[in-house]
């Protein structure tokens, strides 16, 4: 029995030896056959499992790289969208050297604040006095008003209203004959939708006075987006 096993092993050894050329002429053929064997028969080559593992690692790396590239592209798109929709404005009634008053009028009017401190996104129009909301989110809005009756005893009408789509959100109001000057400030945080129109209305009989000291200001900016 042992003799039969020995003969089988000897025959296998000679058969394997015949596949190799000691002068190196068949080196490429041997490498190719070995690699093919590794890919087709795990038991025939110890490197097969290693090659398969490397192949899996390459596939995983390529897949991970593709996913990272997709995430990077999406992140850049979101960042560009956020940058494009950034919005902040701060304006004053005028920048005149001497005190000028707006009003009183017989009809309500939207106040066109002419002096611009900042208009990031260009969503505020100094011609119309309207801030058009570029992106849905929570916004901070602030309004400061000032009026000068000219002399004590004259009627003082310091009043205005902050409006969203024509609806009053808040508005200070004082009409009396006790003060020559008066001012007031309101600050609110409101949820606005893209396309909403924010403005300051000057009611009938009210008037505001301003110069380069900027007593009358209107400010708004996006706190955080909700879309």
Per-residue pLDDT tens for 38-67? 555 555 565 677 777 787 888 888 888 888
Interatomic CA distance for residues 183 and 214, integer angstroms: 12
Do 164 and 147 belong to one domain? yes
Give residue 40's pLDDT: 57
Considering only CA atoms, which of 98, 85, 111, 73 is closest in space to residue 206? 111
| Parent domain of 30 | 2-83
The neighbour count for residue 2, using CB atoms within 10 Å, is 6
Name the domain boundary from 66, 83, 100.
83
Give residue 132's pLDDT: 97
| 140: pLDDT strictly greater than 80 | yes
Do 141 and 194 belong to one domain? yes
| 31: pLDDT strictly greater than 70 | no
Give residue 39's pLDDT: 54
Do 139 and 213 belong to one domain? yes
Do 188 and 217 belong to one domain? yes
Q: Is the preceding peptide bond at 104 cis, omega within 30 degrees of 0?
A: yes
Do 67 and 139 belong to one domain? no
Taking the C-alpha atoms of 62, 68, 74 and 78 in order, what is their torsion angle to the nearest 10 degrees?
Answer: -170
Do 124 and 16 belong to one domain? no
Name the domain boundary from 51, 83, 115.
83
Average pLDDT of the chain, as a whole number: 81
* Percent of the chain at pLDDT exceeding 70: 76
Structure tokens at 76: 């850049």
Do 214 and 172 belong to one domain? yes
Give residue 143's pLDDT: 96
Do 134 and 48 belong to one domain? no
**46 vs 7, more confident:** 46
Structural domains in the chain (count): 2
| 126: pLDDT strictly greater than 90 | yes
**127 vs 30, more confident:** 127
Interatomic CA distance for residues 146 and 138, integer angstroms: 27
CATH of the domain at 140: 2.60.120.40
Do 107 and 50 belong to one domain? no
Q: Which whole number is the average pLDDT over 203-224?
A: 94
Residue with tokens 């087709």: 40
Q: Whole-structure pTM over 0.85, yes or no?
A: no
Give residue 151's pLDDT: 77
Give residue 88's pLDDT: 96
* Burial group, residue 151, by CB count within 10 angstroms (0-12, 13-18, 19+): exposed
Interatomic CA distance for residues 136 and 146, integer angstroms: 31
Do 154 and 215 belong to one domain? yes
Name the domain boundary from 83, 111, 126.
83
Phi/psi for 70 (5° steps) reads -65, -45
Q: Which whole number is the average pLDDT over 14-43?
A: 49
* Percent of the chain at pLDDT exceeding 90: 46
Provide DSSP, 177-201.
Answer: SS-SEEEEEEEEEEEE-TT-EEEEE
Give residue 43's pLDDT: 54
Interatomic CA distance for residues 35 and 197, integer angstroms: 71
């Amino acid at each position: 029995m042992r003799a039969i096993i020995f003969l089988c092993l000897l025959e296998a050894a000679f058969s394997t030896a015949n596949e190799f050329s000691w002068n190196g002429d068949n080196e490429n053929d041997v490498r190719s056959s070995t690699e093919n064997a590794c890919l087709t028969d795990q038991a025939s080559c110890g490197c097969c499992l290693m090659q398969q593992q490397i192949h899996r690692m390459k596939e995983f790396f390529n897949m991970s790289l593709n996913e990272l590239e997709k995430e990077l592209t999406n992140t850049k798109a979101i960042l560009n969208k956020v940058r494009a929709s950034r919005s902040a404005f701060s304006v004053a009634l005028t920048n005149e050297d001497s005190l000028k008053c707006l009003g009183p009028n017989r009809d309500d009017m939207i106040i066109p604040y002419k002096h611009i401190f900042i208009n990031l996104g260009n969503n505020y129009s100094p011609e119309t006095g309207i801030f058009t909301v570029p992106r849905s989110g929570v916004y901070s809005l602030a309004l400061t008003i000032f009026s000068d009756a000219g002399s004590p005893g004259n009627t003082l009408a310091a009043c205005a209203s902050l409006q969203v789509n024509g609806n009053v959100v808040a508005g200070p109001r004082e009409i009396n004959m006790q003060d020559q000057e008066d001012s007031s400030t309101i600050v609110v945080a409101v949820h606005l939708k893209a396309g909403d129109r924010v403005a300051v209305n000057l009611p009938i009989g009210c008037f505001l006075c301003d110069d380069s000291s900027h007593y009358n200001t209107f400010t708004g900016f996006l706190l955080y987006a909700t879309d």
